[in-house]
Amino acid sequence: MKESTDNPWKMMAIAGMVGLEVVFLAVGGSWLGWLLDERWHTRPVLLVTGMLLGFILGIASVVYTIKALLRE
């Protein structure tokens, strides 16, 4: 990981990638929850559930990504 931390642009790209992973998964979970809410008329239960699951998956993805980068 020493080589990765020498380049500030690479570190900024990693930080941006990690942030986008969390945001995209949270938004995707929210969108899917909203669609299911509309279909099954359970508003806002599935929206909130989808958002929370998306956020949890985003955090898990960040942990996996950082572990992979630390192995390099």
How does pLDDT run along the chain (72 residues), one tens digit per residue? Answer: 555 567 899 889 999 999 999 999 999 999 999 999 999 999 999 999 999 999 999 999 999 999 998 887
Total tally of structural domains belonging to the chain: 1
Q: Tell me what pLDDT residue 62 has.
A: 95
Residue 65, domain extent: 14-71
- CA 15/CA 20 separation, integer angstroms: 9
What lies within 8 Å, CB to CB, of 53 at 6+ separation is 29
Q: Tell me what pLDDT residue 1 has.
A: 53
Domain membership flag for residue 4: no
Q: Tell me what pLDDT residue 41 has.
A: 96
Domain membership flag for residue 61: yes
pTM of the model: 0.85
Q: Tell me what pLDDT residue 35 has.
A: 97
Contact of 44 with 37, CB cutoff 8 Å: yes
